[in-house]
Structure formats: structure tokens, C-alpha cells
Amino acid sequence: MPRGAKEDLTVTRNLREAGFFLNRRSFISLDGHLFLEGFDKGRTRERVFRKHRNRCVVCGVRLHPDAPMFHPHCGEWHHPKNCDCVGCSELRCSPTTGRKCHAHRTEGFHRDAKEYANERSTS
């Protein structure tokens, strides 16, 4: 199983039959988290952008879901709990933009957008 999750076979089979999962490798875990592959992941990515209103959760910059890599408004889907659930997901700036919103354990990284904004305004 990917990322250490165990598949809930009954629920996953029911969701496949209902048409929720289109990729055969997508599944729901025993603890209720989604693990998606292929087209299923692409559909969910759009929901993550809508949930966060196309804004980075760390710095608040407006991001575009179809921006190419190295574009200043390139956003990435962040998985803090290693699952693909929309409720567990965040939207962050891509490291290619020059902002460090999606970096972990790096100097200058701030989890809280207000803290990051305060630091930028004083410098």
C-alpha cells in the first residue's frame, strides 16, 4: 500500500461501482482518507484550488491552477497528512516562484501566513 495506508476494500469497491473512482489504483483507506491516482487526482486538484480560492495558505498570493512551471503564479497542491483529501490539503506557492511557501524544514519557512506577512513588512 502506498504511504502506509490500508485500503478499505468494501467502501473502495462501492465507490468504483458508483463511478467515483475512475483509476483502478485509487482507493479510500480504513481511516477514511483518499489516495488517488491519475484522472481522479486531477479532478481533486481543481477542488483544492477552489477550496482555497486560488490563494497560497502561507503568503496569500493569488495562484493560477494552469500556470506553467517557473511562472510567478504557479501553485502546488500540498499534502500535510500524505493523503489526497480536499479537507486535508493545502495550496502553496511553487518553489520555482522564488517564494519558499512549499518548502519544508528550510530557513525562512513559515507555516502561518500572518507571521510571514509581518516579517516581509518589517524587512
Tens-digit pLDDT profile for residues 72-117: 787 888 888 888 999 888 888 887 777 777 765 444 555 555 555 5
Q: What is the DSSP letter of 67?
A: P
Residue of higher predicted confidence among 53 and 64: 53
Q: What is the pLDDT of residue 109?
A: 54
Give every CB contact of residue 29 below 8 A, 6+ residues apart in sequence: 5, 6, 7, 8, 35, 83
Given CA atoms 86, 89, 95, 100 in this order, what sign does their dihedral have?
positive
pLDDT tier at 66, thresholds 50, 70, 90: confident
Q: Give the integer Cα–Cα distance in Å for 75 and 121.
A: 23
Q: Could you read off the pLDDT of 8-38 as tens digits, one per residue?
A: 999 999 999 999 999 999 999 998 999 999 9
Tell me how far apart the terminal alpha carbons of the chain are, to the nearest angstrom. 46
Q: Is 0.85 surpassed by the pTM of this model?
A: no
